[in-house]
């Protein structure tokens, strides 16, 4: 789902433009409250993703559906008595999330993370900024693989999407622990690297 492809139609576009595009989409997605405009943004982004050569839409939606269901249930639960138009609010929120995921998928699909880091280093952007971005995009595919494995294990156990609450819980809790473990490993590796650099310098 979040895997770079050199075959992407936009892989040759400069990283600066792709970063600017991503930022503009994020600003637009969060600032637009009109449902029709959000829907148009969503359609345009998915069309762009398709034109870029991305074809894993089923995986993208499969990863999003549990999250959206949980978010929508939360909206109904916590905002029912607030006087907010829940249908409009929920649809706008869903389109917003879908647009953000589409933009992120487009960015990761068409951007070589190593080229991105090189560009940031040349621009003298601090390591504090580009290192988290590198880690995020480097390990998103790993997290995706973990998600697939966890889903397969839960299916073997007989936990399916027909039991949505149990399914979400059985997927996201193990995934959370896996992500935390990976983050611990990364933190230790980074600490040791910095320690070696300090000792050798």
For 80-116, the pLDDT digits (tens) are 888 888 889 899 999 999 999 888 888 888 888 888 8
CB 2 within 8 A of CB 108: yes
Specify the number of domains making up the chain.
Answer: 2
Residue 61: C-alpha distances to residues 10, 98, 143 (Å) = 22, 9, 16
> Per-residue pLDDT averaged across 134-144, rounded?
75
Judge whether residue 42 has pLDDT over 80: yes
Q: Is the pLDDT of residue 45 over 90?
A: yes
Examine the domain organization and report whether 21 and 107 are in the same domain: yes
pTM of the shown model: 0.70
In angstroms, the CA 168 to CA 160 distance is: 9
Do residues 59 and 140 share a domain? no
Residue range of the domain that includes 190: 113-201
Q: Both 191 and 133 in a single domain?
A: yes
Q: How confident is the model at residue 2 (pLDDT cuts 50, 70, 90)?
A: low
């Amino acid at each position: 789902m979040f895997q770079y492809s050199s075959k992407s139609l936009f892989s040759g576009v400069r990283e600066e433009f792709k970063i600017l595009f991503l930022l503009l989409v994020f600003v637009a997605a969060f600032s637009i409250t009109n449902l029709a405009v959000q829907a148009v943004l969503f359609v345009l982004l998915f069309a762009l993703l398709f034109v870029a050569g991305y074809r894993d839409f089923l995986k993208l939606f499969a990863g999003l559906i549990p999250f959206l269901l949980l978010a929508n249930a939360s909206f109904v639960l916590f905002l029912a008595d607030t006087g907010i138009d829940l249908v409009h609010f929920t649809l706008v929120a869903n389109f917003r999330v879908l647009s953000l995921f589409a933009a992120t998928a487009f960015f990761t699909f068409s951007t070589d993370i190593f080229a991105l880091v090189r560009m940031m280093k040349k621009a003298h952007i601090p390591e504090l900024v580009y290192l988290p971005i590198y880690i995020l995009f480097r390990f998103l595919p790993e997290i995706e693989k973990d998600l697939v494995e966890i889903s397969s294990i839960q299916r073997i156990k007989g936990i399916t999407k027909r039991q949505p609450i149990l399914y979400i819980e059985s997927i996201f809790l193990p995934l959370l622990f896996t992500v935390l473990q990976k983050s611990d490993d990364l933190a230790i590796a980074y600490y040791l690297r910095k320690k070696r650099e300090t000792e050798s310098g």
